[in-house]
Amino acid sequence: MCTHDGEPVGASPVDPPPALPGGIGISRLRVYDIEGPDGVAGGTPHVHLACSEGYYVVAGSGAVQTLSVTGFAETPLRAGTVVWFDPGTIHRLINGGGLDILTLMSNAGLPEAGDAVLTVPPELLTDRETYMKATVLTGEGDARTRSAMRRRDVALEGFAALRTTYDAVGPSALEAFYRAAIAIVRPQLAEWRHRWEQGARRAADDTGAALDALAVGTAPHLRTAELHHMPAPTEFGRHGMCGRLDVYQGAR
pLDDT digits 0-9 by tens, 88-144: 999 999 999 999 999 999 887 676 678 999 999 999 999 999 999 999 999 988 889
pTM: 0.90
CA–chain centroid gap for 108, Å, is: 11
pLDDT of residue 248: 87
251 against 196, higher pLDDT: 196
Q: Distance between CA atoms of 204 and 28, rounded to whole angstroms?
A: 25
Inter-CA distances, 186 with 52, 68, 97, 114, 177, Å: 18, 21, 37, 11, 14
Q: Give me the pLDDT at residue 19, please.
A: 79
Q: What is the average pLDDT score of the chain?
A: 90
Name all domains of the chain by residue range, CATH numbers in brackets.
21-248 (2.60.120.10)
What pLDDT does 13 receive?
41
Amino acid at 160: A
pLDDT score of 195 more than 90: no
